[in-house]
C-alpha cells in the first residue's frame, strides 16, 4: 500500500491537509485497531483547542457540567445541537465566546 499516494488523494478530495492521516493509514496497513471518533467528538475537541481551554473551563464557558462534556468527548452521549453550534462558533470565531466571560 502506497500510504503517501493514498493520503494525497484523500487530502486532495478533502481540499485540505488532514492531521494524523498518514499515521492512521500506516496503522490500518498493519492491522492495528485504533479508536474511532465521531464527528461530534472531533468538533468538541477542535473547539476546545481553538479556545485553548481545559475541559473544566470549556464546560463552565458553555454552562454545562464537566462530566457531561467528558461524556460527549468520550462518545458516551451525543451533545445537543446547541452545543454543536457553540463549537462551530468557537472554531470560526473564538473571540466571540471568550468575550462572554
pLDDT category at 40 given cuts 50, 70, 90 is very high
Residue 31 has pLDDT above 80, yes or no: no
Q: Break the chain into its structural domains and give their ranges.
A: 1-34, 39-98
The reported pLDDT for the residue numbered 6 is 93
Q: Using CB atoms within 10 A of its CB, is residue 22 exposed (0-12), middle (13-18) or buried (19+)?
A: middle
Backbone CA torsion sign across 55, 56, 57, 61: positive
The pLDDT mean for the chain works out to 89
Residue with cell 461524556: 71
Topology, domain 39-98 = 434 Repressor (Amino-terminal Domain) (1.10.260)
Largest CA distance in the chain: 50
Predicted confidence (pLDDT) per residue in 49-95, tens digit? 999 999 999 999 999 999 999 999 988 999 999 999 999 999 999 98
> pTM of the prediction?
0.64
Assigned C-alpha cell, 85: 453550534
The reported pLDDT for the residue numbered 88 is 94
Amino acid at each position: 500500500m502506497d500510504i503517501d499516494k493514498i493520503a494525497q488523494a484523500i487530502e486532495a478530495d478533502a481540499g485540505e491537509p488532514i492531521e494524523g492521516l498518514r499515521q492512521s493509514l500506516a496503522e490500518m496497513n498493519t492491522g492495528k485497531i485504533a479508536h474511532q471518533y465521531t464527528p461530534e467528538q472531533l468538533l468538541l475537541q477542535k473547539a476546545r483547542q481553538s479556545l485553548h481551554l481545559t475541559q473544566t473551563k470549556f464546560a463552565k464557558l458553555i454552562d454545562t457540567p464537566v462530566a457531561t462534556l467528558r461524556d460527549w468527548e468520550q462518545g458516551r452521549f451525543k451533545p445537543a445541537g446547541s452545543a454543536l453550534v457553540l463549537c462551530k462558533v468557537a472554531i470560526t470565531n473564538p473571540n466571540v465566546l471568550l468575550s462572554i466571560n
